[in-house]
C-alpha cells in the first residue's frame, strides 16, 4: 500500500441505485442493481449488501442474468465492455470488449451466445439496438466486435425496449410511435399515434414499454398517464389496442408478472398499481411508497417485485403487494442547502435528504442510516407549491446538540423562519427536539456555528443573519421549578454598522469569534462579547471564513467573492498573506492544520491544500471535476493511512469528500478499485463452507492466526477493545447448536449478554468458555469442537505475549488430537 | 350576401325520441332505427347515411316481451319462472339462449327443453345487488354464449357445459346491448354510462391458432344509456336515450381514408318538421302527436348590422292541435295564406280550415275526406293556396282544388308503370303550372298542373333527393342530393341549365362535399333571380350564380367581410357560395319577404336539458 501511484478522483458510493431496473437472481435471494461504476448485490431478505462487483471503469448501464447459467450475471457499461460475473462469489469471469459506449443490455434465452445492447454510432441523439455475438474463448478478455443491427433510431432508455414472447419480436417506443421488429420474418411494423399533433393529445407520447411473457401483447406507458395494450400488431392494418387509465401523470415504468396475469405500473403518484387480467376494473394498489416510482422489476420466480424510486431507494415487494424490505441509498433528488457535515457520533455524512428531512448516510456501508424529520410536516408533492426548506444545520458538543434552520418564503415580505435545537437522547439513540425558536432573526440566516472548544462548559451557538445582527444562543436552565429542563435562549446580539452578517466562526479553543459583515471581518471575545478588532481588505464580500487549527491557530482565513484568499495573523492583527483564488469551497481538516480549498474556473474545479502558516500550497490537483463543486468535507479516518509521499500526507488522517452540482459524491483515492475490496468477507464465506476434515484444522488454524495478526494490529489503534463475535463461545454455541436441542431463550439470554460485556482481564474471558463447556457437556460433537476452537483462539492470543509457548501449544495439540478421534474419517474409505 | 332581418325562432320545443332498437341489414346496407315513440327510420348507409323513410306503425310504445309461450305453437319450451329479456339463436338454429333475471337458459329447439341454466353472479364490485338482469345474449356458432347484464359484466359461457369461461367487468352500471359481427370476430356492447366497448377476437400468439376475446377500444359518444347497438362490417352503430345515432367506422376495416371514415352523429331528422305561412308570418311545428301554430313576433326598432332588435310584440302560440288516436304524425303543412292546415298520420288524412277574426282563431275540420287520401308522405299547398298536392304512400300524387270550406279532387298522377316507389318530396312552381315530385331514387318527375300530365322526368341519379324547389319566373328546378350535389334543371327546356353544367364540370368544393347533413330546404329570393337559398342543419347558404365558382384552393367558409375592407379585395375573394354558420342547429330557414328571414333553431343544450339525468360519474380532478 505504500508504493503510491497517482491520486485519483473516485466516486465513493452514494451513487444512484435507481439508474436502471433492478434484477433478481433466479431464486429471488439476491437483487442486483447498478450503482455508479459498480454492481451491488443485495440480499432480498436482510437488505444487506452482500457483494459489490467492481471492475467497470465507467457508469454501469445494464445488468441481466445469463440465461444459460442463472448463477452468472452480464453487465455492460459506458466503458464499452460487457462483463460476466459470478455473483455468488463476486468474481469476474470474463470481459468482452465491444469498444463503443453501451447504453443498455438485454439477454434472450433463445439467442445463442449473443446479447443485445444499445449503442449510438454517429449522431449524438440517434441510438441503435444491436446484437453482439459473444465469442467462445477461454481467455479472460475477449474482443467482441461482431455487431448486427436490429433497430435504428430508438430511445436510449432501456425502458423503451422490450423483448416479447421468448424473443419472437422486440418492441421499441420513441416519441409518438411504437415499432415492432419480428426476428423470424425480419420485418418492422410501426404504429404512430395519429392524434399526436392534436393539442388535446399533446402529452400522449410513449414513455415505456413492456411485453407480455406468453401472449402477443405489448403494454406501453404514455405521458398522459394512459397505458395502452396492443394486440394483433403483426398485422399493420388490423392492430388494435385497449386503454387502461388510472395514473394522472406520466407512466414511469411497466412490468408484466412472470405468468403475464397481471401488469404493474408506477409513476409520480408513488403508488404501485397492479392491473389483474389487464382489466380496467380489476386493479390493486400499493400506495404511499414515498417517492416517484422510476423502475419496476419482477423476480424470475415470480414471488417478488422491486420498485426503484427517485429518492434513491429500492423497495422489495412481496407478490401480495406488501413491502418487505427497503434499500435506501443517499437521497439525491433535492438541492443541498445544509452542506456536508459529519455526525461526530456515528461518523455518518449528514445532509439534506427527503424534503424537510436530514439524512444520516454511512460512507462505509454506502447506505442511509436514518432520516431525521426536521420540519415534521406532511410533504405535498405538487408543482408550484413553495415548500419549507431545511436551509442550515450544525452539530455541536460532540454530537450532543443539533441546530437546524428551516425557512419558507412565499412572497418577498413574508418570510417564515424557524430554528430548532435538538438534543441527543441516549435512551432512544436519536435526536429529540429541545427548543424551537420562531423567527430567530428578521431575515435569512446566513450561517450558524457551535463553539466546539473542549473547555467550554456552556454550549454556545452563534447565528448570523442578513438583518445585520449576529445572535449568541446559550443553553440555560429553563423556567422550571425543578431546574431540570434546559433550553436555549439568546444571550447576546451583536451588529456592526448595519452591515449584513454573512459568516461566523469560532476559533479552535473557543476564545474568539469571527463574524464577517460583508467585506469586514470582526473578531469578538467570546467571554465578554467585546469587539476586539476588525479586518477589512476591500476585496469583496467574505464568502468563507475559518480559523486555522493546531499550530496554525493564530491565523484566520477569509475567502472573498472577488476571488481573493486572505490570511490574517491574529497576534499582529495584520494581513499575513493573500492569494488570488476564486474559492468555492473552503474546509479545514479537524485533525490537522490543513485546509482544502476548491476553486472554480471555466475549465473546471481545482483543489488546493495548504497550511495557513505558509502561502505555498501543499498539494494541487487540477480539474478534479468538470462541474461546479458545491460542498466538501473532511472525514476523519478510523485507521490513519501512511502515505510517505509528501504530496499525499494531507490524506493521512482524514479523507476529503466533495459534492458536485449534479450531486455526485466524490473523494480522492490512491488505491486501485480491486484493492479497496475488503477481503474479510470473502474469507468468512470460504470458511463456513469448509468441511470438517483434518485439513480443515490445519488450514483453519493457519487462517485464524492470520486473522488474529490483522486483528491485533487493528486493536492497537482502537481505544475500546471489542471482542470479535466469532471468538465468543456463547454466540457460536447459540448459532451452531441445532435449534431443537437448545435451552429456552430466557436461559440463554443472560449468558449471551454476559458474553458481550467487556472483561477487565483476559482471564475472565477464558473462564467463560469453560463454564459453557461444562454446561453443554451433553451437547453434540460439533459444539464441543467449537468450544475447543475458541479456546484455541485465546491461546494463540496469549502466544503473542511470549510466555509458555511450548506448553500452551502442546495442550492445544492434545485437545486437537482428542478431536481427531471424533472426526469422521469415512471420506478416506471413499478414496 | 345581402342584409336580412332574421327571426331567430327558438321556441320550437322539439325533442327527438330516444333510440330503442337498431338493426342492420348487410345485403342492402341499410339501417333500421326504432325510437321510443314508435317511429321506425330507415337509413341508407351507402347514400351518405341519408334517412330515407320514416314509418310510424301504430304510434304506441311497444315493448316486445318474448316469453316461451309465444313460440308455444311450435314447441312447448320448459317454462321459466321469470320473464325473458333477451334471446339469441344459435346460427345453426339448433339452440336458443335466453337471458332472464339472474340466469341464462339454453334451450334445445328440437326437444324444447332447457339443457342448461347458467346462474349469473349477482355480486357487483363486492356488493350484492338485488337482481342481475341479463340485458342481452349472443350465441356464437362455436357454442359460446356471450351475455351482458345489469352488474356491468360481459361474460362468456360455454353452452355445451354450461360453465363460465371468462368474465369482463367493464362498467359500474348496466351493460344494456350487444351486437356481433357476421364473421363472429368482433362484437360491441353498450353501457348505461354511454360508453360503447368493442371486443375483438385476437390470436394469443402469432404462431398458435389459439384465440381469445379482448376488450379493445372504448368509445364515449353518448351521454346516456346506449340502448341499442349494431355491428356493420365496417362500423359500430349505437343509439340510446340521448337520441343520437352514432356511426363509428372501424379504422382497420376502412379501405380508403376518405370522409366515409369519419364519425357520424345523426341527431335531427333529415326531413322538414316546420312549415311556414309567409304572408301571415305563421309557423307550423310538427311534433309526434300534435301540431303547434305560432305567429312570429315583430319589432319596430331598427339597428345596425349584427344588432339584436328588441321585440315590440312577442311571438304568439296560436294553436295546439292534438291528433286523434295514438298514431304519429307523418307530415304536415300550412298553406302560404295561412288559412289551411293539413296533416297525415299512418292511416288518416286531416284537413282544417282556419278563420282569423282579430285575435281569435276559428278552426274548422274539413270532413268527408275521400278514401284514397288515407295516408300521405308529403303534403304541399300551391303558392296561391288554391290547390293541395298530396303524395300518397302508393306512389301516386293527388291534386285537390280547395274552395272556401270544401274541396274537389282534380286529378291523380299515377306512378310510372312498374315502379311502386312512393313519392316523398314535392315542389310546386310559384305560378302554379309545374309540380315536381321525387321518390327516393328513381329520378324527379315534373308534371304540368294545367294540363294534368307528366311533363318530363329528370334523369335518375345514384343518390336520393333531399330537397326540391322550383324557381319563380325561370321555372328552374333545383335539386339537392344526399351526396351534397346540387343540380339546376330547366323545366321548360327539359334540360340542365348552363350553370348546372358548369358546376358539374368544375365540381363542388371539397369542403362542401364533406358536410355530413343533407340540405333540407331550398328557397328563392323574389327580387334576385340569381340567388338560391338553401340550408342544412349546420349552415345557411346563398348561392349567387353570377359569381365565379370556388375551386379547392379558395376559402369556402369565408367569414363575413369586415366593413372597412376595400371593395377590390372583397370582390376578388368573393365566390358563388356565401355561407353563414351563425344559426345552428338549423331545423328550418325560409324567406318571409325580400328583407326578412325566419330561422328555426333547436340548440342541443335545450334538448339535453329535457332528457332524464345521466348516470353520475366521478371525474378525476373535480
A223-267 pLDDT, tens digit each: 889 999 998 888 877 888 888 999 988 999 999 999 989 999 999
Using the 8-state DSSP alphabet, how is residue A412 labeled? S
Q: What is the pLDDT of residue A674?
A: 43
Using a CB-CB cut-off of 8 Å, the residues of chain B touching A231 are 200, 202, 214, 216
Which residues contact residue A124 at a Cβ distance below 8 angstroms, ignoring those fewer than 6 apart?
Answer: none
- Sign of dihedral through CA atoms A434, A440, A443, A446? negative
* Dist. CA B166–CA B157, nearest whole Å: 7
Closest chain A residue to the Cα of B171, Cα to Cα: A281
Q: What is the pLDDT of residue B419?
A: 62
Residue-wise pLDDT for A262-299, tens only, equals 999 999 888 999 999 888 888 899 988 888 899 999 99
Q: How many Cβ atoms from other residues are within 10 Å of residue B49's Cβ? A: 20
Contact A216 B206 (CB under 8 A): yes
* Dist. CA A534–CA B388, nearest whole Å: 115
What are φ and ψ of residue A180, in 5° steps?
-125, 125
pLDDT(A717) > 70: no
Q: Residue A1: which pLDDT band, with cuts at 50, 70 and 90? A: very low
Question: Which of the two residues, A734 and A501, has the higher pLDDT score?
Answer: A501
Query: Per-residue pLDDT averaged across A116-133, rounded?
Result: 87
pLDDT(A608) > 60: yes
Contact A222, A207 (CB under 8 A): yes
Q: What is the pLDDT of residue B126?
A: 57
Using a CB-CB cut-off of 8 Å, the residues of chain B touching A238 are 252
Q: What is the CATH number of domain A411-417+443-669?
A: 2.130.10.10
Smallest Cβ distance to B214: which of A165, A231, A237? A231
User: What is the CATH architecture assignment of A336-379+387-410+418-439?
Assistant: Beta Barrel (2.40)
In the block, residue with C-alpha cell 458536485: A660
Query: Per-residue pLDDT averaged across A660-664, rounded?
Result: 82
Contact A633, A665 (CB under 8 A): no
Contact B216 A241 (CB under 8 A): yes
* Dist. CA A410–CA A406, nearest whole Å: 14
- Sign of dihedral through CA atoms A325, A330, A336, A338? positive
Structure ipTM? 0.79
pLDDT(A405) > 90: yes
Query: Per-residue pLDDT averaged across A467-472, rounded?
Result: 91
pTM of the model: 0.75
Q: Residue B63: which pLDDT band, with cuts at 50, 70 and 90? A: very low
Alpha-carbon gap: B185 to the closest alpha carbon of chain A (Å): 12
Residue-wise pLDDT for B196-255, tens only, equals 999 999 888 877 788 889 888 888 889 889 999 999 888 899 998 888 889 888 877 666
* Dist. CA A793–CA A773, nearest whole Å: 15
Same fold, A155-195+202-298 and A336-379+387-410+418-439: no
Contact A279 B200 (CB under 8 A): no
pLDDT(A171) > 90: yes
What are φ and ψ of residue A470, in 5° steps?
-120, 145
Element spanning A817, H or E? helix A805-822
Measured CA to CA in angstroms, residue A650 lies from A7, A344, A567, A794, A822 at distances of: 12, 20, 20, 39, 56
Contact B215 A232 (CB under 8 A): no
Closest chain B residue to the Cα of A213, Cα to Cα: B205
Which one of A239, A281, A283, A382 makes the best mutation probe of the B interface by having the most chain B beta carbons within 10 Å?
A281
Q: What is the pLDDT of residue A802?
A: 43
Residue-wise pLDDT for A64-93, tens only, equals 999 988 899 999 999 999 999 999 888 899
Mean pLDDT of chain B: 82
Q: What is the pLDDT of residue A222?
A: 92
Using a CB-CB cut-off of 8 Å, the residues of chain B touching A232 are 200, 202-203
Contact A241 B214 (CB under 8 A): no
Which one of A232, A259, A271 makes the best mutation probe of the B interface by having the most chain B beta carbons within 10 Å?
A232
Query: Per-residue pLDDT averaged across A749-765, rounded?
Result: 66
Query: Per-residue pLDDT averaged across A16-30, rounded?
Result: 91
A816 CB within 8 Å of a chain B CB: no
Using a CB-CB cut-off of 8 Å, the residues of chain B touching A240 are 200, 202, 214, 216-217, 252
Q: What is the pLDDT of residue B441?
A: 66
Percentage of residues in chain B with pLDDT exceeding 90?
Answer: 16
Which residues contact residue B473 at a Cβ distance below 8 angstroms, ignoring those fewer than 6 apart?
Answer: B529
Alpha-carbon gap: A188 to the closest alpha carbon of chain B (Å): 15
Using a CB-CB cut-off of 8 Å, the residues of chain A touching B172 are 281
A476 CB within 8 Å of a chain B CB: no
Contact A238 B252 (CB under 8 A): yes
A234 CB within 8 Å of a chain B CB: yes
Residue-wise pLDDT for A8-17, tens only, equals 787 776 678 8
- Sign of dihedral through CA atoms B299, B302, B304, B305? positive
Q: How many Cβ atoms from other residues are within 10 Å of residue B312's Cβ? A: 10
Contact B579, B558 (CB under 8 A): yes
Residue-wise pLDDT for B508-541, tens only, equals 888 888 888 889 899 998 888 889 999 988 888 9
Contact B207 A168 (CB under 8 A): yes
* Dist. CA B381–CA B400, nearest whole Å: 9
Q: What is the pLDDT of residue A675?
A: 47
pLDDT(A792) > 90: no
Using the 8-state DSSP alphabet, how is residue B259 labeled? G
Q: What is the pLDDT of residue B113?
A: 81
Contact B205 A243 (CB under 8 A): no
Q: What is the pLDDT of residue A384?
A: 75
Alpha-carbon gap: A300 to the closest alpha carbon of chain B (Å): 21
Contact A686, A704 (CB under 8 A): no
A186 CB within 8 Å of a chain B CB: no
pLDDT(A720) > 60: no
Alpha-carbon gap: B264 to the closest alpha carbon of chain A (Å): 18
Contact A549, A588 (CB under 8 A): yes
pLDDT(A699) > 90: no
Rounded to 10 degrees, what is the CA torsion of A234, A235, A236, A237?
Answer: -160
Residues 239-298 of A with CB under 8 A from B: 239-243, 248, 279-282
A546 beta partners: A557
In the block, residue with C-alpha cell 466469532: A726
Measured CA to CA in angstroms, residue B195 lies from B51, B175, B190, B239, B272 at distances of: 25, 9, 6, 11, 31
* Dist. CA B365–CA B367, nearest whole Å: 6
Contact A282 B217 (CB under 8 A): no
Residue-wise pLDDT for B440-466, tens only, equals 666 788 999 888 888 888 888 888 888
Task: Tally the C-alpha atoms within 13 A of residue A108's C-alpha that lie toward its C-beta.
Answer: 22
Q: What is the pLDDT of residue B333?
A: 92
Cis ω before A323 (30° cut-off from 0): no
Residue extents of the structural domains in chain A: 155-195+202-298, 336-379+387-410+418-439, 411-417+443-669
Contact B218 A243 (CB under 8 A): yes
* Dist. CA B522–CA B476, nearest whole Å: 12
User: What is the CATH architecture assignment of A155-195+202-298?
Assistant: 7 Propeller (2.130)
* Dist. CA A402–CA A488, nearest whole Å: 12
A538 CB within 8 Å of a chain B CB: no
Query: Per-residue pLDDT averaged across A770-799, rounded?
Result: 43
Contact B87, B99 (CB under 8 A): yes
A52 beta partners: A40
Alpha-carbon gap: B249 to the closest alpha carbon of chain A (Å): 14
Q: What is the pLDDT of residue A824?
A: 63
Using a CB-CB cut-off of 8 Å, the residues of chain A touching B125 are 281
pLDDT(B439) > 60: yes
Amino acid at each position: 500500500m505504500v508504493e503510491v501511484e497517482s491520486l485519483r478522483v473516485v466516486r465513493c458510493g452514494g451513487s444512484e441505485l435507481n439508474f436502471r431496473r433492478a434484477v433478481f437472481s433466479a431464486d429471488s435471494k439476491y437483487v442486483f442493481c447498478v450503482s455508479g461504476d459498480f454492481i451491488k448485490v443485495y440480499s432480498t431478505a436482510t437488505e444487506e449488501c452482500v457483494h459489490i462487483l467492481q471492475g467497470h471503469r465507467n457508469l454501469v448501464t445494464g445488468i441481466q442474468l445469463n440465461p444459460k447459467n442463472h448463477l452468472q450475471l452480464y453487465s455492460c457499461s459506458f466503458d464499452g465492455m460487457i462483463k460476466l460475473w459470478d455473483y455468488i462469489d463476486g468474481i469476474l469471469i470474463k470481459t468482452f470488449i465491444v469498444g463503443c459506449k453501451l447504453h443498455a443490455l438485454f439477454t434472450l434465452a433463445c439467442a445463442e451466445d449473443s446479447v443485445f445492447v444499445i449503442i449510438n454510432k454517429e449522431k449524438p441523439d440517434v441510438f441503435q439496438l444491436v446484437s453482439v455475438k459473444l465469442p467462445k474463448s477461454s481467455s479472460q478478455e475477449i474482443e467482441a466486435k461482431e455487431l448486427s443491427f436490429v433497430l435504428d433510431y430508438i430511445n436510449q432508455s432501456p425502458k423503451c425496449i422490450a423483448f416479447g414472447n421468448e424473443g419472437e419480436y422486440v418492441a421499441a417506443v420513441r416519441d409518438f410511435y411504437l415499432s415492432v421488429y419480428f426476428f423470424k420474418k425480419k420485418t418492422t411494423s410501426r404504429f404512430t399515434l395519429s392524434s399526436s399533433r392534436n393539442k388535446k393529445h399533446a402529452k400522449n407520447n410513449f414513455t415505456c414499454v413492456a411485453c407480455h411473457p406468453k401472449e402477443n401483447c405489448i403494454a406501453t406507458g404514455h405521458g398522459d398517464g394512459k397505458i395502452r395494450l396492443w394486440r394483433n400488431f403483426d398485422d399493420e392494418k388490423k392492430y388494435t389496442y385497449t386503454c387502461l387509465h388510472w395514473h394522472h401523470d406520466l407512466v414511469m415504468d411497466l412490468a408484466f408478472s412472470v405468468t403475464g396475469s397481471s401488469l404493474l405500473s408506477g409513476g409520480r403518484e408513488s403508488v404501485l398499481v397492479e392491473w389483474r387480467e389487464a382489466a380496467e376494473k380489476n386493479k390493486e394498489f400499493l400506495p404511499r411508497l414515498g417517492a416517484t416510482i422510476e423502475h419496476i422489476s419482477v423476480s424470475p420466480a415470480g414471488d417478488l417485485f422491486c420498485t426503484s424510486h427517485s429518492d434513491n431507494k429500492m423497495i422489495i415487494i412481496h407478490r401480495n403487494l406488501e413491502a418487505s424490505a427497503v434499500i435506501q441509498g443517499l437521497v439525491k433528488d433535492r438541492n443541498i442547502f445544509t452542506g456536508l457535515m459529519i455526525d461526530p457520533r456515528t461518523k455518518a455524512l449528514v445532509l439534506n435528504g427527503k424534503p424537510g428531512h436530514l439524512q444520516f448516510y454511512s460512507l462505509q456501508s454506502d447506505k442511509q442510516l436514518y432520516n431525521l424529520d426536521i420540519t415534521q410536516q406532511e410533504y405535498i408533492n405538487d408543482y408550484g407549491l413553495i415548500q419549507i426548506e431545511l436551509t442550515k444545520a450544525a452539530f455541536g458538543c460532540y454530537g450532543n446538540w443539533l441546530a437546524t434552520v428551516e425557512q419558507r418564503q412565499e412572497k418577498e415580505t413574508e418570510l417564515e423562519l424557524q430554528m430548532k435545537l435538538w438534543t441527543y437522547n441516549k435512551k432512544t439513540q436519536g435526536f429529540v427536539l429541545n427548543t424551537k425558536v420562531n423567527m430567530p432573526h428578521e431575515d435569512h440566516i446566513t450561517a450558524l456555528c457551535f463553539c466546539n472548544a473542549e473547555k467550554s462548559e456552556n454550549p454556545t451557538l452563534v447565528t448570523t443573519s442578513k438583518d445585520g445582527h449576529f445572535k449568541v444562543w446559550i443553553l440555560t436552565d429553563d423556567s422550571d421549578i425543578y431546574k431540570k429542563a434546559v433550553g436555549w435562549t439568546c444571550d447576546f446580539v451583536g451588529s456592526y454598522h448595519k452591515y449584513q452578517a454573512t459568516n461566523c466562526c469560532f476559533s479552535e479553543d473557543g476564545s474568539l469569534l469571527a463574524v464577517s459583515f460583508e467585506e469586514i471581518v470582526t473578531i469578538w471575545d467570546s467571554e465578554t462579547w467585546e469587539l476586539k478588532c476588525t479586518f477589512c481588505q476591500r476585496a469583496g464580500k467574505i464568502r468563507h471564513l475559518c480559523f486555522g487549527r493546531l499550530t496554525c491557530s493564530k491565523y484566520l482565513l477569509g475567502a472573498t467573492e472577488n476571488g481573493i484568499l486572505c490570511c490574517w495573523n491574529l497576534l499582529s492583527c495584520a494581513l499575513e498573506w493573500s492569494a488570488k483564488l476564486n474559492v468555492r469551497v473552503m474546509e479545514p481538516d479537524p485533525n490537522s492544520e490543513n485546509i482544502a480549498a476548491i476553486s472554480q474556473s471555466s475549465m473546471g474545479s481545482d483543489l488546493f491544500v495548504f497550511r495557513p502558516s505558509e502561502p505555498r500550497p501543499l498539494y494541487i490537483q487540477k480539474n478534479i471535476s468538470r462541474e461546479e463543486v458545491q460542498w466538501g468535507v473532511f472525514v476523519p479516518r478510523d485507521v490513519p493511512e501512511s502515505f510517505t509521499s509528501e504530496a499525499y500526507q494531507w490524506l493521512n488522517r482524514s479523507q476529503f469528500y466533495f459534492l458536485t452540482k449534479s450531486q455526485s459524491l466524490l473523494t480522492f483515492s490512491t488505491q486501485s478499485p480491486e484493492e479497496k475490496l475488503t477481503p474479510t468477507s470473502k474469507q468468512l464465506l470460504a470458511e463456513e463452507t469448509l468441511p470438517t476434515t483434518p485439513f480443515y484444522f490445519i488450514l483453519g488454524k493457519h487462517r485464524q492466526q492470520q486473522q488474529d495478526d490483522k486483528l491485533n494490529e487493528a486493536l492497537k489503534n482502537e481505544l475500546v477493545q471489542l471482542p470479535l463475535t466469532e471468538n465468543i463461545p456463547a454466540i457460536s454455541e447459540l448459532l451452531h447448536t441445532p435449534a431443537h436441542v437448545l435451552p429456552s431463550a430466557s436461559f440463554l439470554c443472560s449468558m449471551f449478554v454476559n458474553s458481550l460485556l467487556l472483561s477487565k482481564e483476559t482471564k475472565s474471558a477464558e473462564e467463560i468458555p469453560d463454564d459453557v463447556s461444562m454446561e453443554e457437556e451433553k451437547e453434540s460433537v460439533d459444539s464441543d469442537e467449537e468450544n475447543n476452537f475458541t479456546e484455541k483462539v485465546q491461546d494463540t492470543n496469549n502466544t503473542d505475549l511470549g510466555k509458555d509457548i511450548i506448553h500452551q501449544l502442546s495442550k492445544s495439540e492434545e485437545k486437537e488430537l482428542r478431536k481427531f478421534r471424533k472426526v469422521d474419517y469415512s471420506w478416506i474409505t471413499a478414496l | 350576401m345581402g342584409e336580412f332581418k332574421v327571426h331567430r325562432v327558438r321556441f320550437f320545443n322539439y325533442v327527438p325520441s330516444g333510440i330503442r332498437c337498431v338493426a342492420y341489414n348487410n345485403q342492402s346496407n341499410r339501417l333500421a332505427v326504432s325510437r321510443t315513440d314508435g317511429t321506425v327510420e330507415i337509413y341508407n348507409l351507402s347514400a351518405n347515411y341519408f334517412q330515407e323513410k320514416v314509418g310510424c306503425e301504430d304510434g304506441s310504445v311497444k315493448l316486445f316481451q318474448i316469453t316461451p309461450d309465444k313460440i308455444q305453437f311450435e314447441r312447448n319450451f320448459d317454462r321459466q319462472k321469470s320473464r325473458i329479456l333477451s334471446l339469441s339463436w344459435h346460427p345453426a338454429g339448433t339452440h336458443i339462449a335466453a337471458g332472464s333475471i339472474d340466469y341464462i337458459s339454453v334451450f334445445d329447439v328440437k326437444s324444447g327443453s332447457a339443457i342448461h341454466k347458467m346462474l349469473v353472479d349477482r355480486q357487483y364490485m363486492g356488493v350484492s345487488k338485488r337482481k342481475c338482469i341479463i340485458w342481452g345474449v349472443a350465441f356464437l356458432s362455436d357454442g359460446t354464449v356471450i351475455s351482458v347484464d345489469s352488474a356491468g359484466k360481459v361474460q362468456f359461457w360455454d353452452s355445451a357445459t354450461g360453465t363460465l369461461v371468462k368474465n369482463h367487468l367493464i362498467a359500474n352500471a348496466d351493460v344494456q346491448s350487444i351486437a356481433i359481427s357476421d364473421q363472429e370476430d368482433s362484437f360491441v356492447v353498450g353501457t348505461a354510462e354511454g360508453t360503447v366497448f368493442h371486443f375483438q377476437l385476437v390470436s394469443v400468439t402469432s404462431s398458435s391458432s389459439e384465440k381469445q376475446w379482448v376488450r379493445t377500444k372504448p368509445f364515449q359518444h353518448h351521454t346516456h344509456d346506449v340502448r341499442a347497438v349494431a355491428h356493420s362490417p365496417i362500423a359500430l352503430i349505437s343509439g340510446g336515450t340521448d337520441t343520437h345515432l352514432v356511426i363509428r367506422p372501424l379504422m382497420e376495416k376502412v379501405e380508403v381514408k376518405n370522409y366515409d371514415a369519419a364519425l357520424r352523429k345523426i341527431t335531427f331528422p333529415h326531413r322538414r318538421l316546420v312549415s311556414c305561412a309567409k304572408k301571415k308570418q305563421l309557423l307550423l311545428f310538427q311534433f309526434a302527436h300534435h301540431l303547434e301554430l305560432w305567429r312570429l313576433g315583430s319589432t319596430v326598432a331598427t339597428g345596425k348590422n349584427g344588432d339584436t332588435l328588441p321585440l315590440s310584440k312577442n311571438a304568439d302560440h296560436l294553436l295546439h292541435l292534438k291528433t286523434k288516436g295514438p298514431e304519429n304524425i307523418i307530415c304536415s303543412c300550412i298553406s302560404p295564406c295561412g288559412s289551411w292546415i293539413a296533416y297525415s298520420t299512418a292511416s288518416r288524412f286531416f284537413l282544417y280550415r282556419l278563420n282569423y277574426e282579430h285575435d281569435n282563431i276559428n278552426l274548422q275540420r274539413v270532413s268527408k275526406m275521400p278514401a284514397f287520401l288515407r295516408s300521405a308522405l308529403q303534403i304541399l299547398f300551391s303558392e296561391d293556396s288554391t290547390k293541395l298536392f298530396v303524395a300518397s304512400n302508393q306512389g301516386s300524387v293527388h291534386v285537390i282544388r280547395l274552395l272556401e270550406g270544401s274541396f274537389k279532387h282534380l286529378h291523380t298522377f299515377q306512378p310510372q308503370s312498374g315502379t311502386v316507389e312512393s313519392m316523398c318530396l314535392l315542389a310546386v312552381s310559384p305560378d302554379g303550372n309545374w309540380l315536381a315530385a321525387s321518390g327516393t331514387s328513381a329520378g324527379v318527375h315534373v308534371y304540368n298542373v294545367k294540363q294534368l300530365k307528366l311533363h318530363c322526368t329528370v334523369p335518375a341519379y345514384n343518390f336520393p333527393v333531399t330537397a326540391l324547389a322550383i324557381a319563380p319566373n325561370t321555372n328552374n328546378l333545383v335539386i339537392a342530393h344526399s351526396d351534397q350535389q346540387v343540380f339546376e334543371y330547366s323545366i321548360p327546356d327539359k334540360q340542365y341549365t348552363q350553370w348546372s353544367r358548369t358546376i358539374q364540370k368544375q365540381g363542388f368544393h371539397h369542403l362542401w362535399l364533406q358536410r355530413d347533413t343533407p340540405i333540407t330546404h331550398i328557397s328563392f329570393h323574389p327580387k334576385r333571380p340569381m340567388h338560391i337559398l338553401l340550408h342544412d342543419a349546420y349552415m345557411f347558404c346563398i348561392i349567387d350564380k353570377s359569381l365565379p365558382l370556388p375551386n379547392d384552393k379558395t376559402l369556402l367558409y369565408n367569414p363575413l367581410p369586415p366593413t372597412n375592407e376595400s371593395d377590390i379585395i372583397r370582390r376578388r375573394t368573393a365566390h358563388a357560395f356565401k355561407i353563414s354558420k351563425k344559426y345552428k342547429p338549423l331545423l328550418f330557414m325560409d324567406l318571409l319577404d325580400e328583407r326578412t328571414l325566419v330561422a328555426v333553431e333547436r340548440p342541443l343544450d335545450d334538448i339535453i336539458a329535457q332528457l332524464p339525468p345521466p348516470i353520475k360519474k366521478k371525474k378525476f380532478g373535480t
